[in-house]
Amino acid sequence: MGSQIWVMGFRFWVFLLCSSLVFVNATSVSVVEGSVYIDGRNSIGEIDEDFICATLDWWPPEKCDYGTCSWGHASLLNLDLSNPILLNAVRAFSPLKLRLGGTLQDKVTYETMDGRHPCNQFRNNPSDMFGFTQGCLPMQRWDQLSAFFEKAGALVVFGLNALAGRNIQVDGSAAGAWDTSNAESFIRYTVEKGYAIHGWELGNELSGSGVGTRVSADQYSYDLISLNNLLQDIYKASESKPLVIAPGGFFDANWFGEFLNKTHDNLDVMTHHIYNLGPGVDEHLIDKILNPSYLDGEADTFRNLRNILKSYGTSAVAWVGEAGGAYNSGRNHVTNSFVFSFWYLDQLGMASAHDTKTYCRQTLIGGNYGLLNTTTFVPNPDYYSALLWHRLMGRKVLSTSFSGSKKIRAYAHCSKLSQGIMVLLINLDGNTTVKVDVAFNGGINLLKMHHLHHKLRHRARARARARAIRPHEQVQENVRAEYHLTAKDGNLQSQTMLLNGQILTVDSTGEIPSLTPVHVNSSEPISVGPYSIVFAHIPYILLPACK
């Protein structure tokens, strides 16, 4: 009995200690003030209406990294297209751009009428590049995929095999011209079947030093021109021609410059890939994600690519064609958890501010960085971050800076579906709530705009009463809509996201939940809690840049 009393007493003190730690953590949150400054005179960039994009890959279930096989049946060849969550998840964007490609795309043949290649599936072979043999896309599967894309309302970008006809040299380079025959047969089949393709992309990670192998800028530009000529011929009877996209590789200033110089007007979109967090096995990924200085490092890539496009006077625009943050399939409970929305939304904001038109997330499903869970198809936190961005952030990007906490990331766009602006605030600090005032060029802040709005409405009503007519309210009521995103139980590695304190999850039929804001008095600052993300719609701000 005495020993039982001692154990009970010990448990009681442990309980008190744990309770006190929770209490201390809860009460140690400090509150600071900050200001986001927005220049509303001119926009600094303009994104595509369908800026949000996600990828579907070719990796078979046998794809493993660091002893973990995270791809399951998420390949273009075996994905369950009948899953209702998958259909609803894509449909919710209306439309979602889908880029079909990835590492193995340059080892894919197409089972078409040319009959030159047997339609064999990928098999493990450690001696082959990327550890797999050549694979094949059966046309029956392409029919199934195309039917799904049409039903889901997706915009499809297809990555073509750019290594066809080339030989891999001893130095790792790929020599010879691109053999267009199999691709031509596949594209003609696609057109004859009436399948809509938003763009054709040539190759995956073959630019610069390449991954696995590489193609020179001179040869790649020649091949790109061949693709453009081919598409001009195949689509000559069509009302519109798909985009011509390349190179789908990591940014290399010299290679990209030479490629642009030689492609002339044959290129519509220049794509680059981003895995700036390093390998998925890195145990310090979260530290990098929460480090503002580390996040800032990728701005140079966006800035340099934008400057190269301007300097060559090309009509081609920049896209991020693939971005998973951490390469080799990401890291479980990091790149598929709440904390990754800090990196992802910051990337979307940063890319937009440098006039990147589209941003393709690796992946829609598959690996440890999917927007959807690879096994259950249930949306991961980043899915909801992407959907909110897609629905709220308009095409025009505003110059934004923040004064106050160094842990706040701030971005602003004109609102997408109504007047006013959208502000995105990301708090990387777990111990601080930031009360944010919004100020505009010329020194007008949110509170002043609030009072100005009141005066204008009062005058409008007075004039209406004098004329004995009802005033037509052009401006919404004096509130703003806010969307606060937090992790379940405050756990940054949770795969459950809360919107305004409510769990986001699909229902029993696989329906995507509605994303409903809270409404806040506009005279109050925007409160950004610890480790949280806030989208705030300020409807009564009418800036010149947003006209």
Residues annotated as catalytic are 205, 322
d(CA 537, CA 392): 8
d(CA 427, CA 60): 37
Both tokens assigned to 206:
């073959």
d(CA 33, CA 527): 9
Both tokens assigned to 113:
């009428």
Both tokens assigned to 302:
């966006």
Torsion of CA 43, 408, 524, 514, to 10 degrees: 80
Cβ atoms within 10 Å, residue 22: 10
SS3 454: helix
d(CA 375, CA 332): 13
Spatial CB neighbours of 260, under 8 Å, sequence gap ≥ 6? 267, 270, 308, 309, 312, 314, 316
Which one-letter DSSP state was computed for residue 431? S
DSSP H stretches of helix in 28-127: 84-91
Q: Residue 37: phi, psi to the nearest 5?
A: -105, 130
| Pairing mode, strands 479-487 and 497-499 | antiparallel
d(CA 528, CA 424): 10
Q: Are 370 and 331 in contact (CB under 8 A)?
A: no
Closest by CA position to 133, among listed 60, 206, 64, 202: 60
d(CA 415, CA 388): 12
Spatial CB neighbours of 465, under 8 Å, sequence gap ≥ 6? none
Both tokens assigned to 155:
């915009």
d(CA 320, CA 157): 13
Q: Are 248 and 273 in contact (CB under 8 A)?
A: yes
What is the chain's Cα-based Rg?
26
Q: Are 40 and 386 in contact (CB under 8 A)?
A: no
* Cis amide prior to 363 (ω within 30 degrees): yes
* Cis amide prior to 242 (ω within 30 degrees): no
| Pairing mode, strands 393-403 and 408-415 | antiparallel
d(CA 158, CA 167): 23
Q: What H or E segment, with its residue span, contains residue 435?
A: strand 432-440
Q: Residue 247: phi, psi to the nearest 5?
A: -100, -5
